[in-house]
Amino acid sequence: MRRVESGELRVESGIWGVPRAFNLGRFRAGYQNEFEAVLEVPVPARIVFDISDIEITPQALTPGQNRIKITTNSIGNGFYIYGEISLKADNAATEQTRQIIISGESNDTAKIHTDTLLFEPTANNSELGDKNGSPDMIYPDIKENISSYNYKYLAEIEGHGVPASYARDNKYIVKRGMKVSLKAQNIEIEIVSTEWKSFADIDLYAFMLGGNGRVLNSNRLVYYNNLGSVCKSVRYLNAADKRAMYINRAALPADVSQIDLVISIYDDKNSISFNDLKNPAIKIKGDDGFEFIFPLEGNLGEKTIIALELISKEDGLELVPLGMAYKFSMDRLCGNYGVRTG
């Protein structure tokens, strides 16, 4: 995986109401499953994909909102769907392209999906609404006491090899599909692991996104070549023994609707991935005393993970754990967020 090199970072413009990922979750094996999504595009565009076992209609998109249908074929139990869907503007002169990662797994006991709504833009296009309630995802009642809620997951925490200290009051585990309100003014986000199987240099990237899901200028990408945003709301600690992002919510500009955190292994010589880490997890710690652990689970056989989203709300930030492996280059991922490298 080549690192994003220093130099000019070019930012694309245009409002595209599209998600970065379609998570189909588990769906019934041996049946056709149907999902829907609403995509908003500013120009005529077409959907391009080369993924086995799914069909997408329509593939021609008109300016404005378009409702598409994603249908899985009748595939056997235990098959995993993973790939990239491209949205390409019909006008070649614009060179505008958006990518959406799609993933899911067939299972004999999962429900049969019929027109399950995956994503749609909000009325003001400032964020995307996740409407998919996958049966293997846990949606906590945020009104419940955090401490008592944590004890429900004590066995899971211990099972993942997370140190027992994480099971104290105000500290609990989070999983894909959760939406957790963060009230802290200052937040630390760190990659942790109980043991390294092989040496790896891990970089963190924070993409500060506008309402169109793109960075507004090159300074809004915080990483090892840009250790802090001009507004001082996001800083990166790139130490030998610790890699962490620090977010000051009070300093976050009003035009930043969310922050996406990506972790990537820099390694050009060895075929290592996040599978080579034992019990990798993301630790999110606030100055209000609350601490959240997001174990990175499943097939992590890639060098880049789209880890989580922090969505700006009136009363704080909303934490959305993703943990999605990304098999393409960091340059390409940066392009998805509107940043061209080189």
DSSP string, 41-110: ESS-EEEEE--TTEEEE--EE-SEEEEEEEEE----TT-EEEEEEEEEES-TTT--EEEEEEEEEEETTS
* Pair of tokens at residue 53: 């076992």
Question: Running along the chain, 342 residues long, what does each successive block of 10 average in pLDDT?
Answer: 48 68 86 94 88 90 94 84 82 68 84 91 45 31 36 45 47 77 91 63 91 85 92 89 90 94 81 80 87 83 89 89 84 82 62
The reported pLDDT for the residue numbered 138 is 28
CA dihedral 109, 113, 119, 123 (to 10 degrees): -130
* DSSP label at residue 272: -
Burial class (CB in 10 A: 0-12, 13-18, 19+), 168: exposed
Domains and CATH numbers, the chain: 18-124 (2.60.40.10), 146-340 (2.60.60.30)
The residues with which 38 forms a beta bridge, in sequence order, are 67
CA dihedral 325, 330, 333, 338 (to 10 degrees): 160
The reported pLDDT for the residue numbered 200 is 66
Say which residues have a Cβ less than 8 Å from residue 128's Cβ, sequence separation at least 6: 17, 18, 19, 119, 120, 121, 122, 213
Q: Could you tell me if 86 and 49 are in contact, meaning their C-beta atoms sit under 8 angstroms apart?
A: yes
Measure Cα distances from 34 to 16, 28, 184, 297 in Å.
Answer: 24, 11, 39, 26
The reported pLDDT for the residue numbered 114 is 94
The reported pLDDT for the residue numbered 197 is 47
The residues with which 60 forms a beta bridge, in sequence order, are 46
Q: Could you tell me if 307 and 186 are in contact, meaning their C-beta atoms sit under 8 angstroms apart?
A: no
Coil, strand or helix: which one is 188?
A: strand
